């Protein structure tokens, strides 16, 4: 289709984990959402993780880990935001999984 005329509240570009999560969140907040993907199949690099997502239950410990492993290349405020929001990912995934009874498996590895 070379021409189309539709209006959306939110347009998400890229159907990897980030685009999918943003589209779901925007939809659930009541927005009319368009999710665009340039490739024939969705997934992006996200499919390389085989459905695995890093989570945290300790924002401060995660911040310290990220700070140590980013070698000063990323501002602390950004690392803190990432560390903080990683503590919300498990609940988000469980909420998504409840839609179709998908199994959620949590495994713990030090600093990962
Ligand atoms: C080998 C490997 C293993 C990994 N293992 C893990 C792991 O175990 N746990 C973990 O948490 N993370 C892991 N990661 C990191 C994780 O996969 C990425 O950080 C994450 O998938 C990035 O998601 P994303 O949605 O930002 O990008 P992507 O999944 O890459 O999605 C971006 C999408 O945007 C599309 N796109 C780009 N430009 C356009 C455009 N102009 N128009 C339309 N569509 C466009 C792309 O085609 C793609 O589908 C791993 C990464 C790699 C490479």
> Tokens 């310290």 identify what position?
64
How is residue 72 annotated by DSSP?
T
| DSSP SS3 for 36 | strand
| Residue 52 contacts residue 28 (beta carbons within 8 Å) | no
Residue nearest to atom 21 of ligand 1 (CA): 46
The reply to whether 12 and 59 lie within a common domain is no
Mean of the pLDDT values across residues 88-102? 93
Q: Binning pLDDT at 50, 70 and 90, where does residue 111 land? A: low
Count: domains in the chain? 2
Measured in Å, residue 36 CA sits from the centre of ligand 1 at: 14
| Residue 55 contacts residue 85 (beta carbons within 8 Å) | no
The reply to whether 42 and 57 lie within a common domain is no
From the CA of 20, give the closest atom in ligand 1: 25
The reply to whether 66 and 98 lie within a common domain is yes
Residue 112 has pLDDT above 60, yes or no: no
Q: Binning pLDDT at 50, 70 and 90, where does residue 2 land? A: confident
Neighbouring-strand partners of residue 16: none
From the CA of 46, give the closest atom in ligand 1: 21
Mean of the pLDDT values across residues 39-43? 94
The reply to whether 57 and 111 lie within a common domain is yes
The reply to whether 29 and 69 lie within a common domain is no
Ligand 1 site, CB within 6 A: 13-19, 36-39, 44-46, 48-49, 52-54
Q: Which domain holds residue 13?
A: 1-47
Measured in Å, residue 15 CA sits from the centre of ligand 1 at: 9
The reply to whether 33 and 60 lie within a common domain is no
Predicted local distance difference test score (pLDDT) of residue 1: 65
The reply to whether 93 and 74 lie within a common domain is yes
């Amino acid at each position: 289709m070379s021409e189309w005329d539709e209006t959306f509240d939110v347009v998400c570009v890229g159907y990897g984990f980030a685009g999918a999560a943003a589209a779901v969140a925007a939809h659930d907040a009541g927005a009319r959402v368009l999710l665009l993907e340039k490739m024939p199949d969705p997934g992006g690099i996200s499919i390389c993780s085989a459905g695995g997502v890093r989570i945290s239950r300790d924002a401060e410990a995660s911040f310290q880990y990220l700070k140590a492993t980013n070698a000063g290349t990323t501002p602390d405020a950004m690392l803190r935001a990432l560390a903080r929001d990683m503590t919300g990912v498990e609940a988000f995934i469980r909420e998504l999984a409840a839609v179709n009874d998908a199994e959620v498996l949590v495994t713990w590895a030090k600093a990962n």
